[in-house]
């Protein structure tokens, strides 16, 4: 008698899927908000909008992203509990950039083989990011792709929804000459430019586990450091009574691509490179890869993960509010009249 075919023999293990859900529940629970209706395992995630009725013109803001090739580093280091923070950060930071408060998050994991313990570790990181940003993890999908992806690999993406009163949207339209640019420190490379990182450094165990005095840690530890989540810092600024006039999340494309995105026509951002200490990981990357300075600032955050523009009279309040949220801030430049763009000097 011929062997009967079933889903497991084709490479999809339904039982492993059930086990993954059971293991991740403890982490998902930590992200819950009062507005979440129902539990994990339904066909959709439900979230009450009762609280936003107080807003004049409630406006939903959304963000979706992945973590790019940084995920390769997680495979090589066999460290899967922080890559989820990166995924959440990339989505919720964009929402915060628009003045929004993240409400909920959904994740999508595609894997070659569902190893429940590994999936739970990934979701542990996603949950940690959700706790940091106070977004509820209300749903997700783990898709097993036998024959499409290697068994020990996976990809991770996410989607976040937030809310802001329309009058509080940060648009940059009122930016004017003499407005001040404040940079909020990053934790390192964050989640962009890793294809270049992997060309500069040998991605092997020995290289990644080598301790570097200038970094104060191993290369692997410096590179895998999770992306900073700036939701609390932006909220702290708002609660201090400061109106953020413009905001830019420094991701792929660095300063040159991201800072102009917050500018209206007729004004230019002028940023002083010596206004803060560029972290050692970027100096090392530029040196080892012989990467020109312009390319570094056009690829990486160079130590500044978020830039906010405020009125000159609000600088002190803004700096104090950012520091009260546990972040480090620097006055890095100002707005000038001129052709829309950014000057680094």
Residues 185 and 161 in one domain: no
Same-domain status, 218 and 116: no
Domain end point (choices 168, 197, 217): 168
What is the structure's pLDDT at 122? 95
Q: What rounded mean pLDDT belongs to the chain? A: 92
Between CA 179 and CA 39 the distance in angstroms is: 46
What is the residue whose two structure tokens read 């801030």?
329
Tokens of 8: 């497991």
Residue 64 lies in a domain: yes
The pairing of beta strand 341-344 with beta strand 267-271: parallel
The H helix count followed by the E strand count for the chain is 12, 14
For the chain, percent of residues with pLDDT exceeding 70: 95
Same domain for 112 and 92 = yes
Report pLDDT for 123.
Answer: 94
Q: What would the pLDDT profile of 74-95 be if each residue is shown by its tens digit?
A: 999 999 999 999 999 999 999 9
Helix (H) or strand (E) run with residue 303 in it = none
184 in the same domain as 124: no
Alpha carbon 299 to chain centroid, angstroms: 16
Kindly list the distances between the CA atom of residue 52 and the CA atoms of 49, 163, 296, in Å, as whole numbers in the listed order: 6, 8, 42
Domain match, 59 and 129 both: yes
Instruction: Please indicate, yes or no, whether residues 152 and 14 belong to a single structural domain of this protein.
Output: yes
Quick: pLDDT tens for 26-54. 888 899 999 998 776 677 888 899 888 88
What does each C-alpha distance from 300 to 197, 200, 229, 246 come to in angstroms?
A: 10, 14, 17, 20
Per-residue pLDDT band for 1 (boundaries 50, 70, 90) equals very low
Q: 290 and 247, same structural domain?
A: yes
Rounded to whole angstroms, the Cα distance separating 30 from 271 reads: 40
Tokens of 198: 């992997």
**Do the Cβ atoms of 197 and 282 come closer than 8 Å?**
no
Phi first, then psi: give them for residue 28, nearest 5 degrees: -60, -40
101-131 residues labelled b (16+ CB within 10 A) or e (exposed): bbbbbbbbbbbbbbbbebbbbbbbbbbbbbb
pLDDT at 272 over 80: yes
DSSP annotation string for 10-56: GT--HHHHHHHHHHHHHHHHTT--TTEES-TTSSS-EE--GGGGGSS
Same-domain status, 202 and 277: yes
- The strand pairing partners of 182, in sequence order, are 308, 331
Count of positions (residues) in the chain: 345
Residues 158, 30 share a domain: yes
Q: In this structure, is residue 3 part of a structural domain?
A: no
- Residue 104 in tokens: 């909920």
Q: Is residue 175 part of a domain?
A: no
**pLDDT for res 7:** 54
Give the residue from 168, 190, 214 where a domain finishes: 168
312 and 197 part of one domain:
yes
Residue 224 tokens read as 């895998």
* 174: in domain: no
Structure confidence by residue, pLDDT tens digits, 91-149: 999 999 999 999 999 999 999 988 889 999 999 999 999 999 999 999 998 898 988 88
Q: Which domain covers residue 313, as residue numbers?
A: 180-344
Residue 308 has pLDDT above 90, yes or no: yes
Only one residue has tokens 């803060």, namely 276
* Residues 101 and 235 occupy one common structural domain: no
Is 2 part of a structural domain of the chain?
no
Which CATH number belongs to the domain containing residue 250 in this structure? 3.90.650.10
Residue 1, in any domain of the structure: no
- Give percent of the chain with pLDDT exceeding 90: 79
**End position of a domain, from candidates 108, 137, 168:** 168
137 is a domain residue: yes
Q: How many structural domains compose the chain?
A: 2
Tell me the average pLDDT across 227-253: 96
CATH of the domain at 46: 3.30.1330.10
CB 81 within 8 A of CB 121: yes
For residue 79, the 8-state DSSP code is -
For residues 285 and 200, the answer to whether their CB atoms sit within 8 Å is yes
Domain shared by 134 and 238, yes or no: no
- Residue 223 is predicted with a pLDDT of 96
Q: Does residue 322 lie within any of the structural domains? A: yes
């Amino acid at each position: 008698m011929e062997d009967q075919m079933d889903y497991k023999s084709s490479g999809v293990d339904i039982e492993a899927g059930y086990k993954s859900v059971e293991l991740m529940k403890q982490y998902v629970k930590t992200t819950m908000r009062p507005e979440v209706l129902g539990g994990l395992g339904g066909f959709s995630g439900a979230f009450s909008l009762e609280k936003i009725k107080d807003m004049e013109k409630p406006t939903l803001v959304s963000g979706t992203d992945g973590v790019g090739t940084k995920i390769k580093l997680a495979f090589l280091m066999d460290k899967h509990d922080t890559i989820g923070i990166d995924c959440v950060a990339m989505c919720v930071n964009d929402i915060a950039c628009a003045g929004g408060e993240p409400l909920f998050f959904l994740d999508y994991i595609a894997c070659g083989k569902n190893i429940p313990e590994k999936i739970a570790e990934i979701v542990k990181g996603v949950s940690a990011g959700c706790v940091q940003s106070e977004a509820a993890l209300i749903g997700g999908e783990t898709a097993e792709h036998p024959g499409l992806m290697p068994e020990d690999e996976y990809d991770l993406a996410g989607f976040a929804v937030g809310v802001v009163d329309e009058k509080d949207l940060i648009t940059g339209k009122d930016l004017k000459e003499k407005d001040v640019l404040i940079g909020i420190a990053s934790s390192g490379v964050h989640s962009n430019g890793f294809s270049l990182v992997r060309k500069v450094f040998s991605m092997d165990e020995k290289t990644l586990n080598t301790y570097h005095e200038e970094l104060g840690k191993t290369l692997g530890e410096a590179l895998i450091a999770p992306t900073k989540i700036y939701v609390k810092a932006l909220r702290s600024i708002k609660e201090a009574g400061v109106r953020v006039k413009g905001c830019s999340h420094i991701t792929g494309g660095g300063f040159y691509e991201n800072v102009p995105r917050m500018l209206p026509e007729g004004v230019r951002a002028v940023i002083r490179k010596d206004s803060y200490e560029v972290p050692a990981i970027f100096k090392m990357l530029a040196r080892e890869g012989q990467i020109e300075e312009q390319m570094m600032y056009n690829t990486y955050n160079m130590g500044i993960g978020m830039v906010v523009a405020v009125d000159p009279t609000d600088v002190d309040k803004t700096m104090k509010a950012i520091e009260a949220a546990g972040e480090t801030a620097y006055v890095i430049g100002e707005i000038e009249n001129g052709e829309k763009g950014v000057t680094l000097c």
